[in-house]
Structure 1
Amino acid sequence: METPFRFKEFSVAQDKCAMKIGTDGVLLGAWTPISAEVNSILDIGAGTGIIALMLAQRSFAETIDALEIDEDAYEQAVENFENSPWGDRMFCYHAGFDEFVEEMQDEKYDLIVSNPPFFANTSASEITTSREAARSQASLPFEELLHGVSQLLSENGIFSIVIPKEEETTILEIASSNKLYPNKITEVKGTKTAKVKRSLITFQFLQKEIEKEVLILEESRHNYTPEYKKMVAPFYLKL
């Protein structure tokens, strides 16, 4: 049996999950802005539950909901939530996003996060493994994601997402058609000379000037930058 991944305040079992803990999820969990007013959080496509757990550690939100369509991943997230210090305020739903949006029409969340499926060009018939399914947009197209978010986000709420840099323009256009506007964009690079691989973006219903930053992860192989270390220091036992 695989040993759970240990963080400072919680552990994450991931033996049943197609998508293991990776930099994208940890980045999103650490980078996402959380104000003291955030009372309800939703994590769409929870996987192991890592992002929801990080946000539980960082906030006093009374409600931390997560949504996961894959049965094995859902069971794993539930187990990880129950074994965490915040099990009493964490809940995972096993459903598709469209069903969830329909069911929760009257619910509004102050913060919604998603590390969504990435491979836009994979058709459902080409998906052979659960890892590919977890990474394929066929399971949750950006249009459906942004439309649902616009219905579930509170008036002053924030939606936070991590996506491949090349998907940024598409996401901004789809968001805008759902009256969601970017207010912070952090471009993520592996090293100073590497090209930008990921964009971390927060959206709100309010249009304002976009705060732009670049985050570099490593100075050299396994030698992390002070900025990245500072960001993930509350979580990793050692870096």
Structure 2
Amino acid sequence: MVNLREDERLDYLLAEDLRIIQSPNVFSFSLDAVLLARFVWVPIQKGKIVDLCSGNGVIPLFLSARTKGTITGVEIQERLYDMAVRSIEYNDLEERLHMIHGDLKDAPKELGYEKYDVVTCNPPYFPTPSNEEINVNEHLAIARHEILCTLEDAIKSSSQLVKQGGKVAFVHRPGRLIDIIEIMRKYRLEPKRIQFVYPKAGKEANTLLVEAIKDGSPDLKILEPLTVYDENNEYTPVIKEMLYGSK
């Protein structure tokens, strides 16, 4: 059993055979989280992973199906943190997954410097919004806009958390690619794998996945592009498998 608030629902993560608490008024994960969780390299048997900007814990839940390592989510919004904790408990994953309610800028001091094998982050994408946008829905505004943290804050903390030779993976927008590369290199993270995601064939890419290695040598690979929808506006086979699993 799980205690749900009035505006909450319990959704399925079908490919992982898990459930997650969501709220249309507070937070529901997007395809970006699925893409990042499938893109990042993770150790299969053991290891220590941190997920920054964890929201309702969706990426830790996704990753729990790919690794037997421990996963720590960091989320600054108390309501989202609470949703994540209850989802982890509902899925009986407390032994491997746990959440920290706090600011990602404080995470290295709280969790330890250079102790983690992998760091993932789905950060806010957009500049600070107007007061009107914040007042309409503060939870969504904080999740989407750089109100409480910037891209540089997220990359800096990721670098401080990850071991030398460890991996850091971000999902973002293609328009920030140069910023991401420059800031990663500033903090000793060398981009090694990049993948562009396109909404449909013939459209511009609208999502960017990038994975870097701490103190890695320059050698960037551009992976095969992903396309989300086919000509009939249905998910492509690769996206269907990510969402629903292989049949």
TM-score of the superposed pair, with normalisation by structure 1: 0.90
Unaligned runs of 5+ in 2: 1-5
Q: State the shift of 1:100 in Å.
A: 2.1
Tell me how far apart the structure 1 counterparts of residues 132 and 46 of structure 2 sit (CA, whole Å). Answer: 40
**Greater than 4 Å deviation, 4+ residue runs:** 123-126
**What does residue 21 of structure 1 align with?**
29
**Aligned to 1:139, which of 130, 140, 148?**
148
* 1:120 to 1:59, Cα distance in 2 relative to 1, 3 A: same
> Is this contact kept in 1: 2:33–2:122, CA < 8 A?
yes
SS in 2 for 1:64: strand
Unaligned runs of 5+ in 1: none
**Aligned to 1:68, which of 75, 95, 98?**
75
Deviations 1:180-237 (A, max 9, x none): 11111000001111110010010112023212121111113542222323344439xx
**Aligned to 2:231, which of 220, 226, 236?**
220
Letter in 1 for 2:170: I
Tell me how far apart the structure 2 counterparts of residues 74 and 17 of structure 1 sit (CA, whole Å). Answer: 15
* 1:105 to 1:85, Cα distance in 2 relative to 1, 3 A: closer
Q: 1:17-96 alignment to 2 at 5 Å?
A: 18-36=26-44, 39-61=47-69, 63-96=70-103
**What does residue 117 of structure 1 align with?**
124
Query: Percent identity, aligned pairs only?
Result: 26
TM-score of the superposed pair, with normalisation by structure 2: 0.87
**Aligned to 1:189, which of 188, 198, 201?**
198
User: How many matched pairs?
Assistant: 235
> Is this contact kept in 1: 2:13–2:243, CA < 8 A?
no
Q: CA RMSD in A?
A: 2.2
Tell me how far apart the structure 1 counterparts of residues 145 and 50 of structure 2 sit (CA, whole Å). Answer: 21
**What does residue 179 of structure 1 align with?**
188
Tell me how far apart the structure 1 counterparts of residues 133 and 9 of structure 2 sit (CA, whole Å). Answer: 32
* 1:41 to 1:24, Cα distance in 2 relative to 1, 3 A: same
Tell me how far apart the structure 2 counterparts of residues 10 and 231 of structure 1 sit (CA, whole Å). Answer: 14
> Is this contact kept in 2: 1:10–1:85, CA < 8 A?
no
> Is this contact kept in 1: 2:125–2:173, CA < 8 A?
yes
